[in-house]
Structure 1
Amino acid sequence: MSIEAAAKPRQKVNPLLKLVLEMGPLVLFFIANYKPELFKPLVERFMAPALFEGSSGNIFTATAIFIPATLVALIAGYVLTRHIPVMPLVSGIFVLVFGVLTLWLQDKTFIKLKPTIVNTLFGLILLGGLAFGKPLIRIVLDAAFDLKPEGWRKLTLNWGLFFLFLAVLNEIVWRNFSDNFWTNFKVFGTMPITLIFAATQVPILMKYEVKPDSPDGNAQEGS
């Protein structure tokens, strides 16, 4: 099956609701880190209260909220569209695994490593696929647009390198700055950087877009 054939029409979600589902868990993580007292009665009911004592308890509280919030967002997205994009699904699995390890072993390193590992994984998948002539960016980003082969290759290369950049950036931040700074970076650093980078890719989308009535478009429909 071709990459183009992998994309199937699916029910669209209101853009505002889509944003809530994507950003909601991260916003709750941010709030729980700064105002853990709002959530401690809830999480301490199901976990050891000692886990949330001291300054390190903030990030444990945030992680305990982040896990179910991410799962709820994935389930809600699936109920609404009968589809879960690759990136949120993989990220959600890592949130579950590394979040549980963080709380079970009482080691906040795991939740901080999660962005590094996920971004490295996506970067290597994209660049590795490109090396074998498989521009996988459409699948990874769940793209709904059509590009000429050269456009897919350029987009795959750019996003593959960008994911590796985010992985290195996360390593620098969590290893050299405080928990609060790292949390701020996840919300107010990573997201704006990603949006800015995505905006720089728009010229590629416009240049290599396949029009429905173009020869490329007709060829893809028949593939």
Structure 2
Amino acid sequence: MAKTREINPMLKAGLELGPVLAFFVAYLLLKDRVFEIGGTAYEGFIVVTAGFIPVMVAATALLWKLTGHLSRMQVVTVVLIVVFGGLSVWLNDERFFKMKPTLIYLLFGAVLGIGLLRGESYLRAVMEGLMPLRQEGWMILTRRVTALFFALAVLNEIVWRTMSTEIWVYFKTFGLTAALFLLFMVQGKLFSDYALDEEKS
């Protein structure tokens, strides 16, 4: 089995977040332009999506080459980007790419929910090295993350179906990430109450 290798945290963050930020910047630059390709008119959003797919695949492949490991979440995300981004470009229909976050959050929420029904925290398997908590703490945190994933899936559907593409791009780039960040930021009491007592060993 391949052993996970540590790499520079800044490089890792760049490979994980760089493609998303590049998508955002490219969209701002090209959002009002229309490109004639092969006799078909493509709006800037579709062209940016077409460029985002190989960039995301390349960044994920490089991350795997450097670390020797990809999480299931990263693999599922890049597969859905290729499939739904590809459908948007192929059919010249931005709706498929906008559906992607909905499916990602529904899938992750469902997986965590299945674990909860089995009395397990699949979140623990992914994050235990980052946050040493007792089992009860992991179950509470997993329930909260699961609820957030389902809420974000619903919110993404509302935003892309009722608001402009530009608002959705801002929401996808900053809103979804901020929601997850804020959830963990307000869990201080949980982390304190259920932290493993390492002194009692």
Q: What TM-score do you get using the length of structure 2 for normalisation?
A: 0.87
Asked whether the 8 Å contact 1:86–1:139 carries over to 2, the reply is no
Asked whether the 8 Å contact 1:26–1:187 carries over to 2, the reply is yes
* Residue 154 (str. 1) matches residue 144 (str. 2): no
Query: In 1, distance between residues paired with 2:129 and 2:151?
Result: 21
- Tell me which amino acid in the other structure corresponds to 1:115: P
Query: In 2, distance between residues paired with 1:49 and 1:12?
Result: 48
Deviation per residue, 1:4-35 (Å, 9 max, x gap): xxxx9732232222221121111121122221
Deviation per residue, 1:32-58 (Å, 9 max, x gap): 222139xx99xx8xx646242xxxx11
Identify which of 21, 27, 30 aligns with 1:27.
Answer: 21
Query: In 1, distance between residues paired with 2:9 and 2:191?
Result: 20
* Residue 50 (str. 1) matches residue 44 (str. 2): no
Query: In 1, distance between residues paired with 2:163 and 2:128?
Result: 33
Q: CA RMSD in A?
A: 2.5
Shift of 1:202: 3.7
Identity rate, percent: 35
Identify which of 2, 13, 32 aligns with 2:7.
Answer: 13
Asked whether the 8 Å contact 1:33–1:58 carries over to 2, the reply is yes
Shift of 1:129: 1.2
* Residue 188 (str. 1) matches residue 174 (str. 2): yes
Asked whether the 8 Å contact 2:109–2:147 carries over to 1, the reply is yes
Query: May I ask how many residue pairs the two structures share in their alignment?
Result: 199
Query: In 1, distance between residues paired with 2:57 and 2:41?
Result: 22
Which ranges in structure 1 are unaligned for 5 or more consecutive residues?
1-7, 216-223
Q: Give the secondary-structure state (helix, strand or coil) at the position aligned to 2:176.
A: helix
- Tell me which amino acid in the other structure corresponds to 1:50: T
Query: In 2, distance between residues paired with 1:9 and 1:145?
Result: 21
* Residue 91 (str. 1) matches residue 77 (str. 2): yes
Shift of 1:195: 1.2
